[in-house]
Amino acid sequence: MKAFIIVDQNTGTLRPTDIPAPPAPADNQVQLELIGTSINPIDPLVAKGYGAPLLERKGPGARITGRDAVARVIEVGKGVTDLRPGQRVLVAASPRTGGTYAAIFNLPRKCVAPIDDSLSDATAAGLGYAGLTALQALAAAGLSADNARGKLLCINGASGGVGSIALVLARRWGATLTAVASERNQDWVRRLGADQTVDYRDPAAMAAIDADIILNFAAPGDNHRQNPLLDRLLRRDTPGRAYVNTTNPVLSSVTDKGVVGGLATSGGIYLKKRLAARRAGIRYRWVLFQENAEQLAYLAKFFADPDTPTIVSDIQPLKALPDVFNDPKGPPSPGKGVFMVEGV
Ligand SMILES: NC(=O)c1ccc[n+]([C@@H]2O[C@H](COP(=O)([O-])OP(=O)(O)OC[C@H]3O[C@@H](n4cnc5c(N)ncnc54)[C@H](OP(=O)(O)O)[C@@H]3O)[C@@H](O)[C@H]2O)c1
């Protein structure tokens, strides 16, 4: 069968390759046929060995990457009683669990949620991994559909995959939103529901941001500090302040120091930052993606609503995926670009 495989770990190059089809699914697994997928920033990094001591898998399918999919169930393991062959599903898998860039792949039940006809293939192809991260970041900030109304929320990196999905969720939940994005993506974040937009290259506008909760999804780069905008919260005295970051040093520490040394180092940094923030009255959290079928089902239902703005900015055939994956500039923003199997 066709799959996209990392053929060179030094360069992280992805290529289409013929590999044997996976075995029948194990008891807790589901066997899936790919309909569409997307690229997440972690994939090209993991392809080059980033986080390898923690994330490297062994056995069949170990070189298949890819975090997202919309797929069709082919077969279920003996222990899976609530899914059946032919069902369309939303998929999100961590690098540690398995990959989706193959015509047929097996994943644990926890990576899969059934979807109904009203969720489009294109939206589902890019929703899972970034969507769960967005939902888990909102939860880490203490936000939910029940309590978000009127809260002042700022999303840094609002035009990316995680940011776009978090923006749509929080807007529907009633939060008041400031979206930070590059100038070219200001219209995108406005269309998703931002009340205010700020260009991160405008220092005066950045310094004037008025928010009690900050979600940082900005891709790390040399043009911004590790906890951008945390100083905005430190200068305030309002209750319920929270700062949540998805760009943290866990995987880079593990890459440099191995699992034990890396987790100890990053755990130490995290505790120090969390305690310092707590002393200032701020809830400070790092988010690490976790598989969660129940949250996937929530996202599937939420984005099936025809009034929900689309988070997909680009749809290409699956054969285009390696070129975009191998492009050092990464997938173009905003939102999610998706890659669809033709004729499924
Ligand atoms: N911890 C976890 O488990 C986990 C899970 C998923 C993602 N992540 C991380 O979370 C981040 C977001 O993921 P994603 O999938 O949304 O990535 P993405 O689609 O590549 O989006 C990255 C965003 O960063 C923005 N950005 C770049 N430089 C910026 C700056 N100086 N200030 C503010 N924003 C800036 C970009 O804005 P423009 O395009 O408008 O310039 C873009 O919206 C990535 O670093 C990713 O690795 C972590």
Question: Mind listing the pLDDT tens digit for each residue in 219-252?
Answer: 876 444 578 899 889 989 999 999 999 988 898 8
Range of the domain at 229: 134-286
pLDDT of residue 224: 44
Identify the domain boundary among 286, 303, 332.
286
Q: Whose CA is nearest to atom 2 of ligand 1?
A: 288
Same domain, 42 and 83: yes
Same domain, 116 and 167: no
Q: Structure tokens of 52?
A: 């390898």
CA of 266 to the centre of ligand 1 (A): 20
Return the number of other C-beta atoms located less than 10 Å from residue 26's C-beta: 14
Q: Structure tokens of 19?
A: 């590999």
Same domain, 124 and 141: no
The residue to mutate among 246, 325, 338, having the most atoms of ligand 1 within 8 angstroms of its beta carbon, is: 246
- Rounded Cα distance, 211 and 218, in Å: 17
Residues 6+ apart with CB under 8 A from 125: 35, 36, 37, 38, 68, 69, 70, 312, 336, 338, 339, 340
Query: HSE-up of 163 (CA within 13 Å, CB side)?
Result: 32
CA 22 to chain centre: 26
CA 109 to chain centre: 19
Q: Whose CA is nearest to atom 24 of ligand 1?
A: 218
CA of 213 to the centre of ligand 1 (A): 17
Same domain, 235 and 272: yes
Residue listed under structure tokens 């911004």: 224
Same domain, 269 and 188: yes
Same domain, 246 and 270: yes
Q: Whose CA is nearest to atom 29 of ligand 1?
A: 218
Residue pLDDT, tens place only, 71-106: 999 999 999 999 999 999 999 999 999 999 999 999
Q: Whose CA is nearest to atom 13 of ligand 1?
A: 162
Say which CATH number the domain at 155 has: 3.40.50.720
Using CB atoms within 10 A of its CB, is residue 78 exposed (0-12), middle (13-18) or buried (19+)? Answer: exposed
Report the atom number in ligand 1 closest to the C-alpha of 182: 40
CA of 120 to the centre of ligand 1 (A): 24
Mean per-residue pLDDT for 202-217? 95
Say which CATH number the domain at 320 has: 3.90.180.10
Same domain, 85 and 205: no
Same domain, 112 and 241: no
Residue listed under structure tokens 């293939």: 121
Report the atom number in ligand 1 closest to the C-alpha of 288: 3
Report the atom number in ligand 1 closest to the C-alpha of 159: 43
CA of 315 to the centre of ligand 1 (A): 20
Asked if residue 344 has pLDDT above 70, the reply is: no
Report the atom number in ligand 1 closest to the C-alpha of 246: 1
Return the number of other C-beta atoms located less than 10 Å from residue 79's C-beta: 11
Same domain, 100 and 53: yes
pLDDT of residue 223: 45
pLDDT of residue 221: 66
Provide, rounded to the nearest whole percent, the portion of the chain with pLDDT above 90: 86
The residue to mutate among 43, 217, 254, having the most atoms of ligand 1 within 8 angstroms of its beta carbon, is: 217
Same domain, 305 and 271: no
Q: What is the mean pLDDT of the chain?
A: 94
Q: Whose CA is nearest to atom 21 of ligand 1?
A: 160
Residues 6+ apart with CB under 8 A from 148: 138, 170, 173, 174, 175
- Kindly write down the DSSP assignment for every residue of 44-72, as one continuous string: HHHHTTTTHHHH---STTTTB--SEEEEE
CA of 160 to the centre of ligand 1 (A): 5
Q: How many domains does the chain have?
A: 2
Report the atom number in ligand 1 closest to the C-alpha of 181: 40
Terminal Cα-to-Cα distance of the chain (whole angstroms): 15
18: which strand partners? 2
CA of 221 to the centre of ligand 1 (A): 10
Q: Comparing 167-181, 215-229, 321-335, which segment has the lowest mean pLDDT?
A: 215-229
Helix (H) or strand (E) holding 153: strand 152-156
Within 6 Å (CB) of ligand 1, which residues are found? 40-42, 130, 133, 156-157, 159-163, 180-182, 185, 200, 217-221, 223-224, 246-247, 287-289, 333
- Rounded Cα distance, 248 and 117, in Å: 37
pLDDT of residue 163: 98
Q: Whose CA is nearest to atom 44 of ligand 1?
A: 219
Mean per-residue pLDDT for 309-333? 92
Q: Comparing 136-140, 234-238, 288-292, which segment has the lowest mean pLDDT?
A: 234-238
Same domain, 297 and 320: yes
Helices (H), 149-308: 161-173, 186-192, 203-207, 230-234, 250-279, 293-304
Asked if residue 262 has pLDDT above 80, the reply is: yes
Same domain, 119 and 197: no
CA of 73 to the centre of ligand 1 (A): 31
